[in-house]
Amino acid sequence: MSLLDGKRLIISGVLTDDSIAYAVAETAMHEGAEVLLTNAPGRPSSIMGRIAKRLPAEPVALVPADLTDDGGVQAIHDAAAERWNAVDGVLHAVAYAPEAALGGNFLHTEWDDVATAVKVSAFSLKTLSAGLRPLMEKADNGASVVSLDFDASVAWPVYDWMGVAKAGLESITRYLARDLGPAGIRVNTVSAGPIRTMAGKSIPGFDRLADAWGSRAPLGWDVRDAGPVAGTVAYLFSDLSRGVTGSVLHVDGGYHAMGADKR
């Protein structure tokens, strides 16, 4: 029996085959899960459709939807409800900040750009979790919501307002764990080390974060391998994690625990 046999999962953010979300979908399918994919309408969804053909199994559905919009989340809910009577797990793998909110512009970023970063990268976790709650609370052994994080306990070079948004994501995780726990829904976030995804490479100065990571992390770190992160997400989707909620799980080769200068 595989780790995720019979699990019904909704995975957002599969944009390219080097994305963390793609690695999660691939791992979940290998472990026996059925997967519904969702991404933003327009070009991201058309790319998702092409990339989905590279997965080891066919997704049960591809749903274009805006996770910042209640109507978009309702569309995901309805598509899932057409196929399943319950949802066992949801991956929130969506983040975005305007260029003006990154790259050392912290003191000069306007509120509208900050608001966009926070709404897309943090608040949408609440929107997605609340909108899919009716299906998740029907899961036989409890359901699991997992988001993707980047250590928000320190100020990073170039990350700026996205770092603030990730701090919000971590806090929202705890409050959702509090409010959804009585319905049997676990909520956790995985703080991953830097991965050379399309999203990561779009951050100005990304290489400053990534290049020294492997030498400072006690377990080492391969910025091209999202597998360790995907494996941890699969664990959080599984019944083995039934007592874990409200947590930030670091999957970064141990870098976060070291006393070296993280800059």
Give domain limits for the chain. Answer: 8-256
Ramachandran angles phi, psi of 92, nearest 5°: -95, 105
Q: Is the backbone of residue 6 left (phi > 0), alpha (psi -120 to 50) or beta?
A: left
Query: Which CATH number does 8-256 carry?
Result: 3.40.50.720
Q: Is the backbone of residue 39 left (phi > 0), alpha (psi -120 to 50) or beta?
A: beta
Residue position matching structure tokens 């929202």: 172
Query: In this model, does residue 128 exceed pLDDT 90?
Result: yes
pLDDT, average across residues 57-74? 95
Residue type, 244: V
What's the confidence (pLDDT) of residue 188? 98
Strands 34-39 and 61-64: parallel
Query: In this model, does residue 168 exceed pLDDT 90?
Result: yes
Round the average pLDDT of the chain to a whole number and report it: 93
- CA-to-CA distance for 12 and 151, rounded, in angstroms? 21
Which residues are 8's β-sheet partners? 34
Q: Please state which of the ranges 125-129, 191-195, 212-216 shows the lowest mean pLDDT.
A: 212-216
Query: In this model, does residue 199 exceed pLDDT 90?
Result: no
Residue 244: both structure tokens together:
């874990």
What's the confidence (pLDDT) of residue 214? 87
Predicted TM-score (pTM) of the model is: 0.94
Which residues are 143's β-sheet partners? 185
What's the confidence (pLDDT) of residue 212? 81
Name the strands in the sheet holding 34-39, side by side, starting at the edge strand that comes first in the sequence.
Answer: 61-64, 34-39, 8-12, 89-92, 143-149, 185-192, 248-251
User: Above pLDDT 70, what percent of the chain?
Assistant: 95
What's the confidence (pLDDT) of residue 205? 67
What's the confidence (pLDDT) of residue 200? 66
Residue position matching structure tokens 């020294």: 212
**Model confidence pLDDT, tens digit, residues 72-126:** 999 999 999 999 999 999 999 999 999 999 999 999 999 999 999 999 999 999 9
The b/e string for 227-262 (b: 16+ C-beta within 10 A; e otherwise) is ebbbbbbbbbbbeebeeebbbbbbbbbebbeeeeeb
Q: Is 47 exposed, middle or buried (0-12, 13-18, 19+ CB in 10 A)?
A: middle
